[in-house]
Structure 1
Amino acid sequence: MTTQRKPSANAARRSDTSRRAILAAAFELVGEVGYAKLSIEGIAARAGVGKQTIYRWWPSKGAVLFDAFLSFTEGSDGEAVLPDTGDLEADLKTVLRATVAELNDPRYDEPMRALNTEIAHDPELAAAYSERLDGPMREIKKRRLRAAQQAGQLAEDLDLDLAVEMLWGPLLNRWLQRGGPLTPEYADRVVEATLNGLRPRR
């Protein structure tokens, strides 16, 4: 009878160290060389691991980059929530201004653009994005809007999914298309114009 040995604590630590090194390498390289020139070979060389180590955990460079992006953007202080001061307009302006700052951050610009391109052509990556990032973030946004709805600040029959798209969609579209300056003032105008159409009719 054979028995399976459990991985040692040292082996687990080595795996975790290698994984972190790979994610850091992918995130750094895509900013330096762009997504088109990013390769598994390049990531492996920067991380100091073999290519097979990467393929053991990820099927493609897009999958590596997605995990790298998540590891560098997710918080460590519990579940994310949107501010709720009771002033919906002020809270949304705060959140959309933070979104503008992130989209304009040169550390994240190239990885996010690369992911958007790859998601459009990779169904598996698109499913992972929906499950692990877009879906949870949408629910967080809807939760804040639902609280405002229950407080009578938004129409009772409001489609919350549509409201999320109306608020965040213009920012993402302007960023993707480079269609104009993406500024805090633009974010404020989006909030004001959108809420004018979403508030209850008197």
Structure 2
Amino acid sequence: MASTKEPDSSRRSDRSRRAIHDAALALVGERGYRRTTIEAIAARAGVGKQTIYRWWPSKAAVLMEAFLDLAARSAEEAGPQAGGEHGIPDTGDLAADLKRVLRATVDELNDPALEGPTRALTAEGVVDAKLGAEFVEKLLDPQLALYVTRLRAAQEAGQLRADADPRIALELLVAPLTHRWLLRTLPLTHAYADAIVDLALGGLTSRP
């Protein structure tokens, strides 16, 4: 008799999870966070809503995991030269390394696949303190920690003032990008990212 193979349940589960992630991100980008429902995510993903509730306790948990998965995939595709999941490159040239990473951040913020969900979750995090705290803890803080590590290495190499606070320094780098992206006042470009690095590292005051 020909042997029959049992279906690979783990592979099926992975496909279902990815389908749910993609459906959640698409819907939150199209409708916003509040108008996205578990029922709509299940229908878009082609699964029963019981499947979603078996794996996640809430809509927020689904969307957060979906967004983290998308961010991880984007970082992996970007690779180490863009920072990615490997951290900020350390070539010995601090300005060049920061420009490379900020340019990659510009590309991510301008990416249609990321922009809608990022805006929706950012806006909802302002009014939903629990969701906002989770967004910061799981996504933002790990990314910001990479800047702190790179800036401390620059301090040890004598490339950055010893009394500079790395946390404040990184805010000088990433906050302008976020501000321009949130307000949509002017285009978010690589040239803008480069200018931020030059001003942050060089300062604004004239030198004798």
TM-score (norm 1): 0.84
* Conserved 8 A contact 1:97-1:187: yes
Find the residue that maps to 1:83 and give its secondary structure: coil
Q: Distance in 2 between matches of 1:31 and 1:128?
A: 19
Find the partner of 1:166 among 159, 167, 172. 172
Q: Distance in 1 between matches of 2:53 and 2:203?
A: 49
Deviation for aligned residue 1:19: 2.1
Q: Distance in 1 between matches of 2:137 and 2:34?
A: 25
Match runs of 1:35-184 below 5 Å = 35-74=33-72, 75-76=75-76, 79-184=85-190
Deviation for aligned residue 1:130: 2.7
Deviation for aligned residue 1:36: 4.4
Q: Distance in 1 between matches of 2:187 and 2:9?
A: 49
* Conserved 8 A contact 2:28-2:117: yes
Is 1:26–2:24 an aligned residue pair?
yes
Structure 2: segments with no counterpart, 5+ residues: 1-5
Find the residue that maps to 1:156 and give its secondary structure: coil
Residue of structure 2 in register with 1:5 after alignment:
none
Residue of structure 1 in register with 2:3 after alignment:
none
Q: Distance in 2 between matches of 1:35 and 1:130?
A: 17
Greater RCO structure (CA 8 Å; 6+ sep): 1
Structure 1: segments with no counterpart, 5+ residues: 1-7
Identical columns (%): 57
* Post-superposition CA distance 1:63-85 (Å, at most 9, x none): 32221111112145894211111
Deviation for aligned residue 1:33: 3.6
* Conserved 8 A contact 2:29-2:120: no
Let me know the Cα RMSD of the aligned residues.
2.5
Q: In structure 2, do the counterparts of structure 1 residues 117 and 65 end up closer, same or farther at CA, with 3 Å as the change threshold?
A: same
Q: Distance in 2 between matches of 1:80 and 1:133?
A: 15
Is 1:190–2:188 an aligned residue pair?
no
Aligned amino acid, residue 159 of structure 1? D
Deviation for aligned residue 1:25: 1.1
Q: In structure 2, do the counterparts of structure 1 residues 86 and 164 end up closer, same or farther at CA, with 3 Å as the change threshold?
A: same
